């Protein structure tokens, strides 16, 4: 009788051990599945944010290119040669044709980086969107003229180019020093436009994308 009781106790103990091991294995499996699912979800949300920034940056650069191609390139002569850069570009465009003489009417246009409304340049995220001192790219038609019109080409523009800090050095190794999130510089007759956009994705992570395009300035 004692032998039977001992066997039953041993069998019960063995079963508890098996159950414990099985539970541990199942926990590991479920943990791995949950991790893989979360990783996939994180990649997806980051990808959505990245694609959003890419499409907006391409659209803005395309609009800038279009405006510059229809400009008087001689008005862009004031642009400094790289590595000098500017976050503002002023140029002349034909905005109308004189009704009396049939000649083109030239007016000044301007493209520049401006701090977002409600987001002063103070090192603080004033509007609570997770970005610090972010700005917009604006295109101003008839700049300082009677019919001045301001159009926002792009939002979520970083204050600085990706990888660049305000420290007097070229941190991102593009030959420009402390350049802004929108910058213009001239290289061998081509105007180079550089743009860095940022946003916070659905997981609360900062996503940054940078783009560059060139416009050949014919004389």
Q: Tell the residue number behind the tokens 């959003």, with chain if given.
A: 52
- Minimal distance, residue 55 CB to Ca ion, in Å: 21
CB 158 within 8 A of CB 116: no
CB 213 within 8 A of CB 66: no
- Minimal distance, residue 118 CB to Ca ion, in Å: 8
Question: 102 or 123: whose CB is closer to Ca ion?
Answer: 123
Question: 109 or 198: whose CB is closer to Ca ion?
Answer: 198
Per-residue CA distances from 62 to 66, 67, 135, 166, 214 (Å):
6, 9, 19, 28, 10
Question: 102 or 128: whose CB is closer to Ca ion?
Answer: 128
CB 45 within 8 A of CB 37: no
Question: 18 or 127: whose CB is closer to Ca ion?
Answer: 127
- Minimal distance, residue 143 CB to Ca ion, in Å: 26
Beta bridge partners of 187: 190
- Minimal distance, residue 164 CB to Ca ion, in Å: 5
In the complex, the residues that contact Ca ion under the rule CB under 5 A are 119, 122, 124-127, 129, 131, 133, 164-165, 167, 169-172, 174, 176, 178
- Minimal distance, residue 128 CB to Ca ion, in Å: 7
């Amino acid at each position: 009788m004692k032998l039977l009781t001992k066997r039953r106790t041993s069998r019960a103990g063995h079963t508890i051990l098996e159950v414990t091991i099985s539970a541990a294995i199942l926990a590991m499996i479920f943990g791995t599945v949950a991790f893989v699912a979360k990783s996939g979800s994180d990649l997806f949300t980051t990808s959505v944010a990245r694609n959003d920034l890419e499409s907006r940056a391409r659209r803005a650069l395309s609009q800038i290119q279009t405006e510059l191609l229809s400009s008087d390139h001689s008005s862009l002569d004031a642009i400094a040669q790289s590595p000098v850069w500017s976050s503002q570009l002023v140029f002349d465009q034909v905005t109308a044709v004189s009704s009396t003489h049939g000649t083109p009417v030239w007016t000044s246009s301007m493209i520049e980086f401006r701090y977002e409304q409600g987001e002063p340049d103070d090192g603080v995220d004033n509007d609570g969107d997770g970005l610090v001192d972010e700005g917009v790219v604006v295109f101003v038609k008839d700049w300082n003229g009677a019919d001045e019109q301001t159009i926002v080409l792009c939002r979520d523009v970083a204050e600085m180019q990706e990888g660049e800090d305000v420290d007097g050095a070229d941190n991102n190794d593009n030959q420009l020093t402390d350049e802004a999130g929108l910058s213009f510089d001239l290289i061998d007759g081509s105007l180079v436009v550089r743009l860095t956009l940022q946003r916070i994705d659905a997981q609360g992570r900062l996503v940054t994308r940078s783009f560059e395009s060139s416009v050949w300035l014919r004389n």
